[in-house]
Chain A
C-alpha cells in the first residue's frame, strides 16, 4: 500500500490516501474526510505544539482533501508557519499549500510576503527558487507591490545562479501580466534583452518569454532584440543535431527556444538591416529545406518538434507577408501536409492555410488545393478536422469558386455535426450573398439552406434574403416562383413558411398568371401551413393575407371569411386577434385606393452591414473573420445591393438639401452643413435679446449637463425645455440594446425650419482609426419642419458594444424666425442602463465581494446628501438604477446593497454596490466593486450625484 510512496514518504498521508481510494461510495469518502478534518483540526487546536513533520503531514493532507474538490477553511496559518521552517521539505509543502490555496486575507499575505522576503535574501538558490515559484503561482497585486522592484535586480545580477535567473525571469513576467504598472523595466531593459546572448540555453529559454511579452507592449524599447534573436536562431538552425547536448530533443536542436525566437520576431516587421534580414531569410529557407529531408528518427516526438518549428516559421512568413517566394514555398509545404497520414498535421495545415488564404501573394496558391480540402470535408473522421476544412473553404472562397464551394458546403450540411451546423449555415449564407452574380442562384441557395438545416437558420439569415429580394426587382419573380414550389413539399420548415408568406404577399402577383399558381392556389397553399406554425409566423401570414386582398381582389371573400372565423378574431393571443380584427375591418371599409396605398409594396431596405456577417463575428469573436475578408464583404456587398443602397441614401441627401432653403446655401453652393456653422455670428445678437435666459439655445451650443443627471435612475421625462422647445424622452433597455424615443415639441406658434438633429457617439469623433466605438446609435433623419405647436418624434436604436463613460451628444439645429438655433445636449445613455439585476444570497454576495478585491476594482466616494435621505426615495432610486436591491445581506439594516450585471456586446461586467447612509451627518459612503475597473469608476461618479 504505502509502498508506492517515494523518497520522504509521509506514512500517515499514504495511509489516508489509500483509505480514500478504498471507499466504496461518495458518502463513505465524505465520512472519511470529515473524520480526518476533525482529527487535523483537533491537532492544530491542541495544547501540544506540533513538530514540523506533523505539521507538514497535516497540511499535506488538507491539500489533498482540497484537490479532491472539498472546501478547506483552516490550516492556512500552519502552512505559513512551515514557510519559515529551515527544513527544505517542510518549506516546500508550505509553499505548495499557499500556491494552491491562495487567500486574500491581508494578515496572512503580510506573513507570507515576509517569509518570501527572507528566502529571497537567503542566497540559498534552492530557497530562492521556491520563493520565486510561489510569487509566480500566486501572482497577486500585493506580491507585485512587495517584489516587483526586487526581482529585476535578481534577474540581472552577475552572481545570480542560472536556475534562479530562470525562475526570476518568468516570475517577473507573471507580475508584469498582473500589474504592468508596478514592473518598471527602464534601467534594466538592455540587460534583459542581452539575456538572449546568455551562454546557458535554459536562461535564454526562460528569458525569451519575458522579452516577447515586453516587446509586445513596448516594441520600440526592445527592438534591439530582433538582431540578437536572428543570430541566436541562426546558430541553432545551423547546428548539428548533437551540438546542443541536452537541449537537443529527439535529434532536433532546441525546438522550444527556436519556436520562441520565431514567435518573438513576429512582434516586429521584417528587419530593416539588409544583413540581418538576409540571415533570417536564410534561416527560414533552411527550416523549409529541412522539412524535405528524411527524418532522423521514426519517433513522433522527432517529427512533432521539427514540424513545430516549421509551422512557427510559416507563421512568421505569413506575418511578414512580403516574400512571395517564401509564401509560395510555405503554401506548397502545407499542401503536402494536407495529405499527410498524421491527423495532427492535416489539422494544422488546414488551420495555417486559412491565414495564408488572406495574403494576396498566396491566395491563388491556396486555391489550387481546393479538391483536397473538399475531400477532407467529406472524408475526415474527426469532426474538428472537418471543421478546419470548412473554415478553410470559407477563407479561400472568391468569385471564381464560390458556386463550387457553396454547393459542397450545402451538401456537407446534410450530414454535418450538430455542433457546427449553425456556423456553417451562416457561412453559406454569407458566401452566397457576397459572391452572387446571379440572384436566382442566391435565392436557390438560401432556400436550400432552409430546407436542409431549417432549425439552424437564424432570423438574420431569412431577414436577409427578404431584404435582398425586396431590393432587387430582377429576382422577385423568380423568388416568388421558387418559394411557391418549395412550399409544395408536404413538410416544410417554418422558416420556409415565413419567407414564403412574406415573398408571396409582396410578389405573388408576379406568378399569378399561371393557373397552377393562381391567387387562390397560392392562398390555400399558405393557409394549409397556418395551423402548424407558431404565433409570430401566423401573424406574418395574416399580414400576407391582407396584402393578397390588395393584390388579388378576387380572394377578398375567401380571406375575409378566414379572418372572420372565431379562431382568428377571438384568438387568445392579443397580437393575432388584433391583426385579424384590424385587417378584416380595413378590407371591408377602405376603398381600393386607400387599400392600395396602405398595402403598397415594401420600400427598399436601407443598406447596413450584413446582419449575418455581424452575427458570425459575434459568434466567432471579431478576430475570427479575417480583415481582408471583411473589406471584401463591404466592397462586394455594395455591388450586390447596389440599387437598394444608393436609392434611399441619395434620396435622403437630396431631401435634406432641399429642406434647407437658406439663401447662403444657394449662394455658396455648399452642402447644408456649411451655412449652419457660418450663421451664428449674425444670429447671435438677436437671440440674446429675445431669449436672454435661454442659455442652452445660445449659438455656442454649450452642452447641457443637468438634465442628463436626472435620468441616471429613470428612463422617461422632460430632458430639456426653454421658451421655444421642449424635448421629452422615453426609453427602454433590454440587455445590451436600447431604444430611445425623443419628442421635440415646438412651443411657439411659428414653424421651425431646417430642423436637423445629429447624434454623435463617444469615440466616433476621434479620427484615429483604432479608437474603439463603444456605443452604436442609429437613427433616421427627422422631418425638417416642425409646425408651431406640433411635436415630432425620433427613434434612436442604441447598442452598447463595450463599457463607456462618455454619453452620446445630441445636436439640434433649426431656424426660428430667421435666427439659427443651435443646441447640444448630452443624451442620458449611461452605463447603468444596461444592467440586468442579479439576486443573490448574503453568502454569495460577500464571496463575490471578496473576489473583487483588487484595489482598482473598487471605487469609493464619501459625499454629502443632496436630496432627501428617506428610505423609500432611496430604494426607488436604487431600483431605477437597474440593479437588484438585496435585502438581508448587509448586517447593518440601514445600509443598501445591490447587485447586477452590465450587458455589453463584448462582455458582461458584474457589479456590486454598497451604500451606507449616515443620517446624523447627512453623509453617504458609496462603494462599488466591478469586474472591470473603468466601470467601478464611472458608476461611482454617476451615482455620487444622485443621492
Chain B
C-alpha cells in the first residue's frame, strides 16, 4: 500500500493499487450479437467464437481460443439474453440473473419477470458498475415476449440502453443495422427473419475480423425458447480480384 490512509473514499479513485480491483481490459471476448423482432417473437443470432486477448497489450493480436461457447441464454420464462464482450463477465451476469429469477419464482405471486423487467435490472447493474469504475465488459441484447407483447432491447458496459425493432452489438451496429433499417418490416415470418439475420451475419463474417463461421440462432415466442444447433453460412470467395493475386508483382513478395 502506497498510502497509509485507508479511508474507503480512496479506494474509488483511480490509483495503481486500485487497478487490481477493477476490469482494465477484456480477456476472452465474443463478437457481435444481432437481434430482430418478427411476427411471433424475437430472433437473436450470435457466433460461437471467443478470442483470447494478447498477453501484453498490442504485440501478438489475439487467438481464436474457444469455439463452442454459447453466448445466448434464456432468462426465466419470457426472455433471452445475448452477450458480446468479456465472457467471464457474462457468466457473472448470468449468476445475477439466475438469482433474480429464482427469487421471483419463490415469490410465487402469479407474475414472473418479463423482458422489460430484466432489461431494466441489467441496465441498473451495468450503469452502477460503470460508476464504480469496475464495469462488466459486455454489450447485451435482451429480447422476449410476455402476454403477447414483444420486447427487444440492448444495454452496454457504460449503461447506455434502448429498445428497438432491431438491435445489434459491436460491429453489428455498423454493419448489420443499416441492412436491417432497409429490409426489416413488421410481421416477418420465421423463415424471412432467419434469412435476414443470416444476411447480417454473413456481412459480419466477411468484414469483422473476430467473426467465426459457426453461428446459432435463438428464437423466443410466447411458447418458449429454442436455441438452434450451431451451423455455418455459405460464403463466396471466387472473386476475379482474388484469382492470381500476385499477377503483376512477380519477384516481390
To the question of whether A and B form a pair in one complex, the answer is: no
